Each structure stands twice: as structure tokens, then as C-alpha cells.
Amino acid sequence: MQLRVDLLPRNHYRDVVVLIDVLRTCTVAPLLFDHGLKRLYLCPSVRVCRELAQRDGALLIGERRGLPPEGFNHANSPAVLRAVGLKHQTAVIYSENAPVVLGRLHGARHVLLGSLANAAAVVRRALALAREEIALVCAGYEGSEDLDDSFAAGLLSALLLSQRAELQPVGAAQLALTLLTVFPDPLEPLWRSRAGRALQQFMLHDDIALASFISQSDQVPELRQVVPFQRADAFCFDVAVMSHASAA
Amino acid sequence: MQLRVDLLPRNHYRDVVVLIDVLRTCTVAPLLFDHGLKRLYLCPSVRVCRELAQRDGALLIGERRGLPPEGFNHANSPAVLRAVGLKHQTAVIYSENAPVVLGRLHGARHVLLGSLANAAAVVRRALALAREEIALVCAGYEGSEDLDDSFAAGLLSALLLSQRAELQPVGAAQLALTLLTVFPDPLEPLWRSRAGRALQQFMLHDDIALASFISQSDQVPELRQVVPFQRADAFCFDVAVMSHASAA
């Protein structure tokens, strides 16, 4: 079985894809499910996010230029959301990057959201689901490879290989594994990434720190449904109960 | 002016592109010009390479599965070619990767070949030519990002920034610069790259060592002409006399 790493999304997926967007969507998502969330939508259109939230009475999360758009409940900040009491069953995250990448993962049988935050859990789940390939796909930053996601791909690769030695590393797996070995502290690549620098400009240092904690969550969001709207697709995730069974 | 790094070739180039293929085409090319070569063709078809060589009486360089194809003079090995007396005015390199990448650099006004071997010279030449953007484009290995080219992009980025502080790093420039800082010895990323591992399997350790010597050549191959053949294009390079003038 192949362990494939793409430092940016590519084509021709065929089995399990773990989408990695460390700062911050794939860090926030497992934390929300830790709070008891039942369903999460990711969508790249503010208007569709509002529509979904009205329909489902959902929590609206996201920001544009550092601030939540009108009518949104919270910024996409793990530090803030961790402290917020979550009474909603559904949340909608407005994000410019992750949903666009999700729309390009043609051929994938399973799509999971992964980050440092749910590292051990997403590795277990990917191994339970995969038949021929686990592809770790980095979302990147503004269309380029970035350090935060590349480092996380290295960490997940190392965990995968430690549990299934016969996995064949292909693509940029070797490069990602090397990044893991040269950064002893996970905070450093996150801090030095372009995404991390952007957060520093908005004084969101806590978000970077929180995203560097490894395996703090056992939740693995899985793509269940793509809901088409006129402006953009919304990607609906939940967490499989199975993922706990397979962890045993 | 922008300093852009692509860890794999992308689209929309518009000014100066430095193609980086450390192991080994862009290391071999400047060394050949050091030997007095006047013209170099890169081509991804063995048959077209032979045709070009017959027409121009050129030296035929390249290998498939570790060995030079029939009628070829030498493998694409910097360690071997450095020691060979070069009496030819023209050389043709068969290469599967670099010419394919060259065919995708639409919009570039100038295309240079760069590596650690000609680092200082290619940086000078790029700065002399550029108006709006210097794009360092890594060739990668079998369609994925690789450590050798990514590290070299970091080194060239650092040299460019040291000479022109107002350059704006975009794309993966930050990631490449980080690679530079985490590897104190340039041999290490080359050794650990997929391209480097492949060379180790063919016992070509000397090629890796030689490719790690920084600024050993002042030659900067520049793309002059694309020669269309039925099977594949051939990319014709020479070195500008200007490059020495602009270095002064």
C-alpha cells in the first residue's frame, strides 16, 4: 500500500485522502467535534454559509481579513472556539482554501480532515479505511506549499510508517519526513510558515501555539456529502462512530 | 520585484525563470560550458538526441536505467564529465525531466539553468535580466517536490535577497529559505533527496558530492531557441558573454 504526500493538491486520487490544513481549518474541525458537534459544513462562499446556517440553525464560523463577516458568531480561531460553550449541533465554517481543495479531490473514496491536533486518530482511521493508498494532501497557502502543512504531513507519515512498516512512501513523503526530523519542536515550522506569519500579523499567536499540540483530539471529520449551491459547493463532515471501534 | 519559488513547475511565468534540476542536468550543464562548450541541447527523446548529434557532430550525453543508450558517448554524470576532455562544440543531453519542464514555462522572457554549482553566477545573471520577477522553478523528481532542488532554491533565494533586499519573497520562497537554515551541509539534502537515493542505488555517490559544491562554475546556460521535432522539442542553450560583463 502506498503512502503518498502531496505538498499541494494534485490529481488522480483513488482511495483515502487526508486533507491537511493546520492553520486553521483542520485544527478547528476536530476541536468542534470534541465539543459535541454533530455536523460540520465547509464552504468558500459567505452567502452560502449564511444560507446553510439559517436552514440548520448552525453556528457560523469564519473570518475575512481577520474579522468575522456580518452575522457570523466566531472567528475561525481554535483558541477562541476551544473556550466557547458549543450548544449547536451543526457548524458552518467559511474558509477560502480548504473547500476549494476539497472540490479538487476527484476519485477519493474517503476524505478525512487531519492536522497535528488529531494526528494519532486520523492515522488510525486512515489505516482502517485504506485499501491501496493513503494520500496526505496539504492545502498550502495562497496556492503555494507551506511549512505548517508540510511538517504535519511529515508527522502523519512517520506515525503511519511506525504502525504499518510495509507502506511505500511516494511523492513528497521523503521530503515531509525530513522536515519532521529537522524541526524538534512542532511550534517552529508553524511559526515560520506563511500561514503562521499571517496569523502573527493579526496577533493570533495563541492559534499557532494551540495548533502545535499533537493528538489533543480523537475526532476525525469525514466527508459525507457534497451539497451543491449555485455559488459554491458545501462539504458536509461528521465523525464516524466506527473510528473509535477501529481504534481499539 | 518578486522572488518567487515553485517547488514544482506551475503556470503563468512572465519574466526570468531559473530552472533548478540539481541532480543532475543543471549541475552538468554549467560544467560542460566550463570545458569550452558553445551550445547545449536538452531533449526528452533519445531518437531526437541522436538526430541532433548526427547533424551537429555533437557529444551525446544521457542515460536510461543507469546506462547510456546505444551510440551515446557518456552518462549524464558530472563526476565523469568533469574528467572528460571535451573537444566538441555542441553537446546533446537526453533527459526525461528538465526538457518536459522547459516545455511548460509559458510566458518566461528568459530561462536560465541553475544549481548549487553555478549559484553565484546565476543569481547575478537573473538580477541583471529581471524586471518584475525572478522565479526559481524546481524540476522535482518523478512529478513530486524533492529536497535537492528545494534546498538549492533556498540557497539561491538567500543569495538573491542578500544582493537585493527589496525583493519580495512569494510562493514557496519562505519554505525554501527554511530548508537552507536547517541543513548546515548542502550534501545532506542532496543525499536524502529521492533523486539522490536513486543515484546511490547506481553507486553514483560522486555525482551527489560534486553537485553539492557551491559556485564552482561561472557559467549560466540561457535558453536561446526551441527546436521542434516531430517526437519532441529540443531546447538549445548557450552562455551569454554579457553574463561576465554584468557580473563586473
| Residue-level pLDDT, tens digit, chain B, 248 residues | 999 999 999 989 999 999 999 999 999 999 999 988 999 999 999 999 999 999 888 999 998 877 899 999 999 999 888 887 777 789 999 998 999 999 999 999 999 999 999 999 999 999 999 999 999 999 999 999 999 999 999 999 999 999 999 999 999 999 999 999 889 899 999 999 999 999 999 999 999 999 999 999 999 999 999 999 999 999 999 998 754 444 43
Query: What is the chain B residue with the closest CA to A143?
Result: B171
pLDDT at A243: 44
CB contact under 8 A, B144 and A170: yes
* Tens of pLDDT, residues B15-74: 999 999 999 999 999 999 998 899 999 999 999 999 999 988 899 999 887 789 999 999
Confidence (pLDDT) at B242: 53
**Edge-to-edge, what's the strand order for the sheet holding A2-6?**
A59-61, A90-94, A39-43, A233-239, A221-228, A110-114, A16-20, A133-138, A2-6, A168-171
All cell numbers assigned to A202:
493579526
Average pLDDT over chain A reads 93
pLDDT confidence of residue A135: 98
The pLDDT score that the predictor gives to residue A11 is 86
> What is the Cα–Cα distance from B66 to B69, expressed in whole angstroms?
9
Query: What is the reported pLDDT for A194?
Result: 94
A197 chain-B contacts, CB cut-off 8 A: 174
Res B182: pLDDT: 85
Tens digits of residue pLDDT in A138-193: 999 999 999 999 999 999 999 999 999 999 999 999 999 999 988 989 999 999 99
pLDDT for B64: 86
- d(C-alpha B89, C-alpha B85), whole Å: 12
Q: What is the model's pLDDT at position A242?
A: 53
For residues A166 and A143, what is the distance between their CA atoms, to the nearest angstrom?
A: 32
**Closest by CA position to B212, among listed B7, B21, B27:** B27
Nearest CB partner across the interface for B174, out of A178, A183, A194: A194
Contact B192 A174 (CB under 8 A): yes
> How many CB pairs below 8 Å do chains A and B form together?
54
Spell out which residues of chain B touch residue A172, defining contact as CB-CB under 8 Å.
144-146
Residue A152, min C-alpha distance to chain B (Å):
14
B178 touches A197 (CB < 8 A) = no
Q: What is the pLDDT, as a whole number, of residue B85?
A: 74
Give the pLDDT score at B56: 84
Of B246, B233, B186, B245, the residue nearest B92 (C-alpha): B233
- Residue of A7, A174, A194 lying closest to B7 (CB–CB): A7
Chain A residue closest to B5 (CA)?
Answer: A144
Distance CA A85, CA A71 (A): 18
Closest-CA distance, B225 to chain A, in angstroms, reads: 30
**Residue ranges in chain A whose pLDDT is less than 70:** 242-248
DSSP state of B57: T
**Chain B residue with minimal CA distance to A177?**
B192
| Phi, psi at B17, each rounded to 5° | -115, 130
pTM for this structure? 0.89
Give one DSSP letter per residue of chain A, joined into a string.
-EEEEESS--S---SEEEEE-TTTHHHHHHHHHHTT--EEEEES-HHHHHHHHHHHT-EEE--BTTBPPTT--B-S-HHHHHHS----SEEEEE-SSHHHHHTT-TT-SEEEEE-STTHHHHHHHHHHH-SSEEEEEE--BTTB--HHHHHHHHHHHHHHHHH-TT-EEEETHHHHHHHHHH-SSTHHHHHHSHHHHHHHHTT-HHHHHHHTSTT-----EEEEEEEE-SS-EEEEEEE-THHHHHH-
Q: According to the model, what pLDDT value does residue B245 have? A: 44
Instruction: Give me the pLDDT at residue B129, please.
Output: 97
Distance from CA of A72 to the nearest CA of B (A): 31
